Amino acid sequence: MHAALLWTINDFLAYGDISGWSTKGALACPPCNYDSQSHWLIYGRKFSYIGHRRFLGSDHKFRKQKKSFDENVDIRLAPITVSGGEIMLQTDVVNDHVFGKKKVNLTNKRERREEALTVWKKRSIFFFLPYWEEHVLHHNLDVMHIEKNVVSNIIGTLLNLDGKTKDNLKARHMGIRSELHLEKVGNDQTCMPDACFHMNASENDGFLQVLKGVRVPDGYSSNISHCVKLKERKISGMKSHDNHILMQQLFPIAICGSLPTIVSRPLIDLSCFFRKIYSKVLKVEELGAIEKRIAVTLCELERVFPPFFTVMVHLVMHLASKAKVAGLVQYHWMYPIKR
């Protein structure tokens, strides 16, 4: 009997452990490799992974719009996926890495911190397989965890949940969107202007009331209404499958009457993207169109939620291209493994 390893299926943290690419920091996106783009939020102490205009067509109108994005014109090309041979060349550097504790400095002189030459921490052990270098897809991006994190970011930001919202005083120090800059009120107070996605009390209640009144057939999902807390105005306790149902079926309905079109339209497009990518029938030509559309959707979200882009939100950009190689997402997600 002979067997061959096609690819690995794991969450994003394990992705870094298995592949050897660091999934933290400025270059946290493995598909983008060294062409990853991120913006360090000085006071937020985290990276925001923006810059999705490079995935658009060269003549798209968004590329020349400065004020709506980061005050720059973007003429860059989309990053090219690295091959197994290129990964072998990049990981040649880590072969000389010495593991273990460093020697004790007896001179008590301050040592300068060495600059990291590579993001790779190791060469994956799977490259010892004779065919692994020729694989087009080595490690899968788990759609289940990506969708869960995207929903968590959206809900936390829209409901302004403490500790979960991506829009706060620290996140607004990006030097863009002058209308959202902090304003001084009096001598010792600072006011944070409401963004376009801010919901007042009545809109917030209307959004939650829709989800609270949801009734689904037995076995379709858990009772999501139990996760909705009207008094506290928050949603908590949802599992991965609950986020899946909320994103694809309920979310577009709930936000229609609570958010302006500039906010609701890209969020509904994002919901449609996940619904299409989860389809039981996928065609390569359709995936190409889906990939082009999600690039526009992410750019529209950048105009609304600049600090909203954690690396998990950015990874949505690569799901369609991975599906072109691996096929239906049902064959490379983590739902069967989690259960």
Instruction: Please determine, for residue 110, whether its predicted confidence score (pLDDT) is greater than 60.
Output: no
Distant-in-sequence, close-in-space partners of 193: CB < 8 Å, separation ≥ 6:
179, 180, 181, 182, 183
Q: What is the pLDDT of residues 163-185, one digit of tens each?
A: 777 777 776 776 677 677 777 77
Mean of per-residue pLDDT scores for the chain: 86
Q: In 3D, which of 137, 142, 141 has the Cα closest to residue 334?
A: 142
Which amino acid, 315?
Answer: L
pLDDT in tens, 58-82: 999 999 998 888 888 888 999 999 9
Residue, of 45 and 110, whose pLDDT is higher: 45
pLDDT tens-digit map of 252-274: 999 988 899 999 999 999 999 99
Q: For 229-247, what is the mean pLDDT?
A: 90
Give yes or no for a contact between 259 and 197, defined as CB atoms under 8 angstroms apart. yes
